[in-house]
Amino acid sequence: MSDIEKVKCLIIGSGPAGYTAAIYAARANMSPVMYQGMQPGGQLTTTNEVENFPGYPEGITGPAMMMELEAQAKRFDADIRFGFIDKVDFSGVIHKVWTDGGKEIHCETVIISTGASAKYLGLESEQKFLLNGGGVSACAVCDGFFYRGQETVIVGAGDSACEEAHYLSKLCTKVTMLVRRDEFRASKIMAERVKNTENIEILFNTETVEVIGDDVVSAVKVKNNQTGEERTIPATGFFVAIGHKPNTDIFKDYIKLDETGYVVYEKPGTSLTNVPGVFVAGDAADKNYRQAITAAGTGCMAALDAERYLAAKGH
């Protein structure tokens, strides 16, 4: 028993949601402990320039912003730890978690801020330009601005792809949308909006063969999966909008998730989950907005809700 650590507030995940929760919880004397997870800093560390987070008039790189958030949390003595939580037991009043090193921690409150991961096609050329920041992105709202006045390609046929294609169409001269089947998955209204947008060309039954370019993307080679015909589309940006996977697998036995794995809020407008004392923030519960600023906002809500929960228990 003596090896078991007891904490008031455990934060799982280190994106903008987790760090904001840590700042608020630390300033409320909750002595938060954060496990950063597999990708310290979260999805923003794969983004180049962040220009839409208020307070950075000149913009800031994703990794630099996450370092600043970490420094801000540490300033108030938040305990930020490298490592991840790989097992939880939320069946009792005290919430038990285990780290990847096998350490057992008993928590009065837990804030889930494990985020979501964008899905990619997995092509070698796609991954190359993703890693070098050369023109592959999974977020049109984040990166579309860099391609204004240029031609882009977007893959996907769901509501996200339609929303992002439409967003890009307002910035780019032309958007080519690659749909792998002969129909959209998106709701009719979203698909219609894309179809009725003049500078969006939709290629059905079409898959990506290769993203082409030297240091940056210059074209995309595609193939019609019915006829086998290949063609090369000039483009400086390649957007992938084929869905996200929320990082919530370890919670599934205890926390109510929707059919795609997003945490379901117990009470809309709060950060409460179905388990008292366990709260959620950021993309783990958000398939609509997925922005750093909305994640930070819900991180604040989770810390305030956790503080109120502890106060109601007499802490």
The DSSP bridge pattern shows strands 136-137 and 237-240 to be: parallel
Decide whether 159 or 305 has the Cβ nearer to ligand NDP. Answer: 159
Chain positions contacting ligand NDP, by CB under 6 A:
121, 155-161, 163, 180-181, 185, 242-244, 287-288
Catalytic residue among 107, 142, 162, 172: 142
Q: How is residue 63 written in tokens?
A: 């990794």
Specify whether 182 is catalytic.
no
Q: How far apart are CA 285 and CA 265, in angstroms?
A: 7
Specify whether 9 is catalytic.
no
Categorise residue 228: left if φ over 0, alpha if ψ from -120 to 50, beta otherwise: left
* Cβ at position 165, least distance to ligand NDP in Å: 11
Decide whether 52 or 187 has the Cβ nearer to ligand NDP. Answer: 187
Q: How is residue 260 written in tokens?
A: 């795609």
Decide whether 95 or 185 has the Cβ nearer to ligand NDP. Answer: 185
Decide whether 90 or 262 has the Cβ nearer to ligand NDP. Answer: 262
**Is 13 in a helix, a strand, or coil?**
coil
Catalytic residue among 9, 139, 162, 172: 139
* Cβ at position 241, least distance to ligand NDP in Å: 6
Q: How far apart are CA 79 and CA 228, in angstroms?
A: 56
Minimal CB distance residue for ligand NDP: 158
* Cβ at position 9, least distance to ligand NDP in Å: 30
Decide whether 179 or 275 has the Cβ nearer to ligand NDP. Answer: 179
**Is 64 in a helix, a strand, or coil?**
helix
Sheet holding 200-203, edge to edge: 136-137, 237-240, 151-155, 174-178, 200-203
* Cβ at position 245, least distance to ligand NDP in Å: 10
Extended strands (E) in 229-305: 230-234, 237-240, 244-246, 278-280
Amino acid at 229: E
DSSP 53: S
First to last CA, the chain: 23
* Cβ at position 177, least distance to ligand NDP in Å: 11
Q: Are 29 and 52 in contact (CB under 8 A)?
A: no
Catalytic residue among 89, 100, 107, 143: 143
Handedness of CA 217, 227, 168, 164 (dihedral sign): negative
Q: How far apart are CA 274 and CA 272, in angstroms?
A: 7
Specify whether 253 is catalytic.
no
* Cβ at position 262, least distance to ligand NDP in Å: 9
Decide whether 151 or 163 has the Cβ nearer to ligand NDP. Answer: 163
Q: How many CB atoms lie within 10 A of CB 256?
A: 13
Decide whether 80 or 139 has the Cβ nearer to ligand NDP. Answer: 139
* Cβ at position 49, least distance to ligand NDP in Å: 23
For residue 228, give every residue at least 6 positions away whose Cβ sits within 8 Å of its Cβ, in sequence order, or none: none
Q: How far apart are CA 152 and CA 165, in angstroms?
A: 9
Which are the catalytic amino acids?
A: 139, 142-143
